[in-house]
Amino acid sequence: PAGASRSVSDGRLVVVSNRVAAPSASGASGAAGSGAGGLAVALQAALKARGGIWFGWSGKVSQDSNAPVQERTHGSVTYALSDLSRRDLDEYYHGFANRALWPICHYRLDLAKPSAPDSAGYFRVNEFFARRLARMIRPNDVIWVHDYHFIPMAAFLRQLGCANRIGFFLHIPWPSPDVARALPAYDRILRAMSAYDVVGFQTEGDAENFRNCLVQAKAGRAGGDVWREAYGRRFQVDAFPISIDAEAFAEEARVAEKNVLVKRMRASLEGRPLIIGVDRLDYSKGIRQRIEAFASFLEQSPLAAKSRVTMLQVTPKSRSEVPEYAKIQREVAEQVGIVNGKLGDVDWTPLRYINKVMSQSALAGLYRIARVGLVTPLRDGMNLVAKEYVAAQTPDDPGVLVLSQFAGAAQELHSALIVNPYDIEATGAAIARASSMPLAERKERWGAMMDVLRANSIDNWTARFLQALGGDAELADS
């Protein structure tokens, strides 16, 4: 395969992502510290092992669009952060990325708000970042670009003469050609994805959708082969399902039984069963349908009302500057009020709704005490909450995962109760089934899911992608 013969074992790893998990200026541990997301920890580990750069947006808006890249080096890793102007941020991030790419890749054509200035801004910011990055790259470096914010990064780097191995991983779904064709600048985006050496997706279905897009655009041949030739380049298109460090998460959940917040939660339940949902406040997560399903469960199941089941929905606000997100925030808040008003009692609030960000430890402990985990997105690349909920369970008394068929995680966690989140009654019935599932069945389902998580850890994921990219020492030596 192209590039595999080139020795890159001495090359550094260069990670590009919109947000960078950099340690704070004071040197306090950043993503590698406790409470960091699994992806950040895994990328930090890969960077530390090879040395390298993590490059992306600083999270800051600057008046001076030419403010220099801020570089901070910790050991063998340099964090390189670039500010954006207000206009760049609005067009590239709030605009094209979050009002065109995100909704369309999540099959919400109705919510897509494409605009010519946003498209132009997206490509302009990618070119701006590519120019800044190109100055830092050495010939043997291996470059790993993350997610929908930076699809054209490799195309711009190639224009600047960069011949390095460059990989791309898309964290969100890639839709079927009929839907993908609704993307503004679709042809340019397809062509730009062909500038990578490896294009990775969460599921085989996403990878196949992308291959079909190339076929339909007459830019590749049919068939399920991972190797593609399109737009004059040969590259690999494959699925790399992301995961978590299940053992570490399980340990965190075990220790979190002593977490003060978890203890308070448990005490406040007074023995009533808990159902949990955890999501960024995003229309793709199916929060409204989930609340309806929970209400349907309360109304249908005599057991639910009698045992005064409580649902905790932890939902940090997200992308509030995007109008579609401001709208869903209002709608969910209103709906919570309606359900509690209708079904609650003087001493029972069926639905507890929290917009705060919690510590990962508290979250792990809350998963552990919840009898049911509700993960019911309308579309989701993978959904790590599903995997975290499973990992957090007590082995001798595990809870039950209710999982949407439209989450990438459903391709792996077959032993969850798989639901169609649009079917409110059926989801309500699945919540009832989960709530009263016998211990033996709960153990069997949980055991099967833990086996899956242990077999595909986040470290496997990083290693597999870097191996495909030809960036690992073993492959380079062989």
Catalytic machinery residues: 171, 380
The nearer residue to ligand GDG, 381 or 470, going by C-beta atoms, is 381
The nearer residue to ligand GDG, 262 or 363, going by C-beta atoms, is 363
Q: How far is the CB of 477 from ligand GDG (least distance, A)?
A: 30
The nearer residue to ligand GDG, 9 or 18, going by C-beta atoms, is 18
Site string for ligand GDG, 224-253 (x = CB under 6 A): ------------------x-----------
- Closest CA relative to residue 403, chosen from 392, 394, 412: 412
Residue owning tokens 């600048």: 185
Kindly state the DSSP code that residue 408 receives in the 8-state scheme: G
The nearer residue to ligand GDG, 242 or 410, going by C-beta atoms, is 242
What is the residue type of 189? I
Site string for ligand GDG, 268-287 (x = CB under 6 A): ----------x-x-------
In whole angstroms, how far apart are CA 98 and each of 89, 94, 224, 335, 394?
11, 5, 30, 24, 38
End-to-end Cα, the chain, rounded Å: 13
Number of shown-chain residues binding ligand GDG (CB under 6 A): 21
- Residue from 276, 336, 363, 378 in contact with ligand GDG (CB under 6 A): 363
Residues between 71 and 100 that touch ligand GDG (CB under 6 A): none
Residue owning tokens 């949902």: 277
The Cβ of residue 359 has, within 10 Å, a number of other Cβ atoms equal to 13
Q: How far is the CB of 317 from ligand GDG (least distance, A)?
A: 10
Q: Are 437 and 400 in contact (CB under 8 A)?
A: yes
Two structure tokens written together for 224: 């399920």
Residues between 380 and 399 that touch ligand GDG (CB under 6 A): 380-385, 388
Question: Strand order of the sheet with strand 77-84?
Answer: 70-74, 77-84, 52-61, 13-19, 142-146, 165-169, 198-201, 233-239, 227-230
**452 sits near ligand GDG (criterion: CB under 6 A):** no
Q: What angle do CA 443, 445, 448 make, to 5 degrees?
A: 105
The nearer residue to ligand GDG, 125 or 314, going by C-beta atoms, is 314
**Structural element, H or E, at residue 105:** helix 102-105
Q: Are 411 and 203 in contact (CB under 8 A)?
A: yes
Q: How far is the CB of 170 from ligand GDG (least distance, A)?
A: 9
Q: How far is the CB of 49 from ligand GDG (least distance, A)?
A: 21
**142 sits near ligand GDG (criterion: CB under 6 A):** no
**37 sits near ligand GDG (criterion: CB under 6 A):** yes
The nearer residue to ligand GDG, 222 or 333, going by C-beta atoms, is 333
Q: How far is the CB of 361 from ligand GDG (least distance, A)?
A: 8
**314 sits near ligand GDG (criterion: CB under 6 A):** yes
The nearer residue to ligand GDG, 37 or 344, going by C-beta atoms, is 37
Q: Are 249 and 178 in contact (CB under 8 A)?
A: no
Residues between 326 and 345 that touch ligand GDG (CB under 6 A): none
Q: How far is the CB of 132 from ligand GDG (least distance, A)?
A: 25
The Cβ of residue 125 has, within 10 Å, a number of other Cβ atoms equal to 25
Q: Are 245 and 459 in contact (CB under 8 A)?
A: yes
Residues between 165 and 204 that touch ligand GDG (CB under 6 A): 171-172
- Binding region for ligand GDG (CB under 6 A) out of 41-49, 84-92, 214-222, 353-361: 353-361
Q: How far is the CB of 465 from ligand GDG (least distance, A)?
A: 12
Two structure tokens written together for 185: 């600048």
The nearer residue to ligand GDG, 230 or 385, going by C-beta atoms, is 385
**445 sits near ligand GDG (criterion: CB under 6 A):** no
- Residue from 98, 360, 427, 457 in contact with ligand GDG (CB under 6 A): 360
Question: Strand order of the sheet with strand 417-419?
Answer: 351-354, 310-314, 274-278, 372-375, 400-404, 417-419
- Closest CA relative to residue 295, chosen from 340, 347, 255: 340
Q: How far is the CB of 7 from ligand GDG (least distance, A)?
A: 30
CA distance 28 to 98: 31
CA distance 377 to 374: 9
- Binding region for ligand GDG (CB under 6 A) out of 48-56, 59-67, 86-94, 378-386: 378-386
- Residue from 1, 117, 316, 337 in contact with ligand GDG (CB under 6 A): 316
Instruction: Please report, as ranges, the residues that interact with ligand GDG according to CB under 6 A.
Output: 37, 39, 171-172, 242, 278, 280, 314, 316, 357-360, 363, 380-385, 388
